[in-house]
Amino acid sequence: DARVTQTPRHKVTEMGQEVTMRCQPILGHNTVFWYRQTMMQGLELLAYFRNRAPLDDSGMPKDRFSAEMPDATLATLKIQPSEPRDSAVYFCASGLDLNGELFFGEGSRLTVL
């Protein structure tokens, strides 16, 4: 049963700490997206990769966020330093760049105190 896997599922940290979230996309998918979900803003697109190349990270605060795909089986989203306003659920999604259908992971719930 192919699915997108995200770790950690839950993370509580203190302001100023580094946070790294990981995503394993579905094997064979060539697009990876990072979304952030909050009650106030809904789903925000943070970053997009196609064939491991970053194509769009305009939704990401550049000073503290970074997204990478070191290989086809791993995408990472890093926040350094973290702030309380970063508290949210972060979703990774993968797909084939055909009809735009995305498969979402279960999310990483981040709480920054």
CB of 81 to other proteins, least distance (A): 27
Q: Residue numbers of the site for other proteins (CB under 8 A)? A: 4, 31, 33, 42-43, 45, 48, 50, 55-56, 91, 93, 97, 99-107
Residue found by looking up tokens 């920054």 in the block: 112
CA–CA dist 87, 84 (Å, integer)? 6
DSSP for 65-97?
A: EEEEEEETTEEEEEESS--GGG-EEEEEEEE-T
CB of 38 to other proteins, least distance (A): 11
Task: Indicate the residue among 5 and 66 with the shorter CB distance to other proteins.
Answer: 5
Task: Indicate the residue among 27 and 40 with the shorter CB distance to other proteins.
Answer: 40
CB of 58 to other proteins, least distance (A): 9
DSSP-based three-state secondary structure for 111: strand
